[in-house]
Amino acid sequence: MNKFIPLSIPNFEGNEKKYVNEALNQGWVSTGGAYIARLEQEMANFLHVHNVAACQSGTSAIHLSMIEAGVKPGDVVLVPPLTFIAAVNPVKYQYATPVFIDCDDSLCMDPVKLCEFCETQCKWDGELLKYKKKRVKAMVVVHVFGNMADMEPIMDIASKYKLKVIEDATEALGTYYTEGRYAGKYAGTIGDFGAYSFNGNKIITTGGGGAVTANESKIVDHIRFLSTQAKTDPHCYIHDEVGYNYRMTNLQAALGVAQMEKLPEFIRRKQKNFEVYKAEFEGFKYGTLMLFREGTNANKWFYSFNINRNYIKNSMKEIIIALEKKGIQARVVWGLINEQKPYENEVTYQLEKAPYYADRIINIPCSTQITKEEIIYVASEVKQLLRSLSNE
């Protein structure tokens, strides 16, 4: 196979050109226009929620959620170390303090360590306090690669300690529980806030763009208000609050409406392609394809391959470069956020599995238009490479 197989690229096989051209012809290209409201309504219908606000990015969705959650300068926000840095940066935007809680084997926040941190490292005084009476106000729970976090115990902990839960569902649009207390509930609709991303590599895309929902419709209305510069009187330009230029454009929303029409099909393909990979890697001792949480219907956005370090000692960079030479784009899971320069002095709590998985996981091609032939080629080349690198 001579062609290059990308990691994850957008798929525009629906009505994208038609809807974008309609928006252009109507002259609505900025942060006003019918497609924005239409995308918000279609997302609300899909997620079974009352209200959704479209915004500029998943990062802005998290930031708006944090503002609405009441995170103030000096507050503590509990965050994961193993995720994209955009999940944590809004903590700094609010001049708050992140504390990094370890992940479990799902790569999502570990509720056991979360509970231990609250019980042993904090003090309860009508609110959860840490560091000379700093208030622990919220947590950011990321549904990593479309895999649902363990939300039942997480929500119980949040309820006990009056913590706001911001679900980073930027990778998990369409993932939902099939069992338990939250059966039928989608990622991003269980906590106080849910943030979504439509970046170019996500399961649907608007180029950039994102969306946010909350457990009360009026909260989403206020988030939408903040995202449009908090304009109280649009005629006289009166602003009663500090606002943000975080609203989605109509051109982006036109793309989004077309992509939402294809979302169920894209999820079906992701799930089907995952099963092909799973069969190809069955019984392979030098690495395994990581599974998704039982009791959920995951969108299976990204496929994580866990390298067996008992046999493979090469660096992640060496492995990725070797695959590139075979025409396969792969990537490391992430650099741990607590090891990045802006966060290297922040507090961590019992980080064990996060560094373990950061040293072992690569993501392999997962675009919705990848063919079965390409999947088999990727799996074959990964297996051949790791066999050649093994220390046996």
- pLDDT for the residue numbered 28: 87
Nearby residues of 167 by Cβ (< 8 Å), 6 or more positions away: 141, 143, 149, 187, 188, 189, 190, 191, 193, 194, 195
The chain-wide mean pLDDT, for the chain, equals 96
Beta strand spans in 29-150 (E): 53-55, 76-79, 97-101, 123-124, 128-130, 134-142
**Region 168-193 average pLDDT:** 98
Cα within 13 Å of Cα(285), Cβ side: 8
What pLDDT is recorded for position 1? 62
CA nearest to 96, candidates 346, 354, 351: 346
Residue 26 pLDDT greater than 80, yes or no: yes
Burial (0-12, 13-18, 19+ Cβ within 10 Å), 95: exposed
331-359 confidence digits (pLDDT tens): 999 999 999 999 999 999 999 999 999 99
Orientation angle between helical segments 372-389 and 316-324, nearest 10 degrees:
130
pLDDT, position 32: 87
Q: What is the pLDDT of residue 3?
A: 83
Characterize the bridge pairing of strands 238-239 and 164-168: unpaired
pLDDT, tens digit (0-9, with 9 covering 90-100), for 248-286: 999 999 999 999 999 999 999 999 999 999 999 999 999
User: How does pLDDT run across 108-154, given as a tens digit for each residue?
Assistant: 999 999 999 999 999 999 999 887 789 999 999 999 999 999 999 99
Please check the confidence at residue 392 and state whether its pLDDT lies above 80: no
Q: Is the pLDDT of residue 22 over 90?
A: yes
CA-to-CA dists, residue 230 to 54, 225, 248, angstroms: 15, 5, 15
3-state DSSP assignment of residue 89: helix
**In the beta sheet, which residues pair with residue 213?**
194
Q: How many CB atoms lie within 10 A of CB 24?
A: 13
Which band of pLDDT confidence, cut at 50, 70 and 90, is reported for residue 290? very high
13-27, 117-131, 184-198: lowest mean pLDDT where?
117-131
pLDDT score, position 163: 98
Which structural domains are found in the chain, ordered by start?
Answer: 16-259 (3.40.640.10), 263-389 (3.90.1150.10)
Q: What is the DSSP letter of 6?
A: -
pLDDT at res. 291 = 98
CA dist 103 and 108 (Å) reads: 5
Distance of alpha carbon 30 from alpha carbon 75, whole angstroms: 35
Closest-CA residue to 113 (of 73, 80, 161, 76): 80
